[in-house]
Amino acid sequence: MKPKKTITVKLNYHFVDWIVQEYSASELVDALKGETSIEDFAISIMGDFIYIEHINNWEEIKPKLNESYYNGCYEFVSKDKGVPFGDWCEEKDEFVPFSETDKYQIIYIVEENQ
């Protein structure tokens, strides 16, 4: 098996606010009783998509995502049967972080306010 390429998605702090807004203060306190930071907690519970506005390095990762072709039905396909994945995400204004595919390992970090 070929080693996976790594893509690091650098999230801005608005991502954390957006993810945890549905939690009460007591729920957040309970969730953070361990050693987990609020940033790691937000990453661990993120759902099916991330708005591109929350990704600081979108222009850097989009070309890497465009190496894969997507059919819009949660399947990566051959070039002639799909569109570049980064372009598809940009059209939808959201990055869909489902299964990292066979090509990539995706790492998420939250950067300080910029």
Report pLDDT digits (tens) over 20-64. 898 888 888 888 887 678 899 899 888 888 999 999 999 999 998
CB 9 within 8 A of CB 57: yes
Distance, in Å, from the CA atom of 10 to the CA atom of 60, rounded to the nearest integer, reads 10
User: Is pLDDT larger for residue 86 or for residue 101?
Assistant: 86
Distances (CA, A) of 41 to 17, 38, 47, 114: 11, 5, 12, 20
Residue 1 has pLDDT above 70, yes or no: no
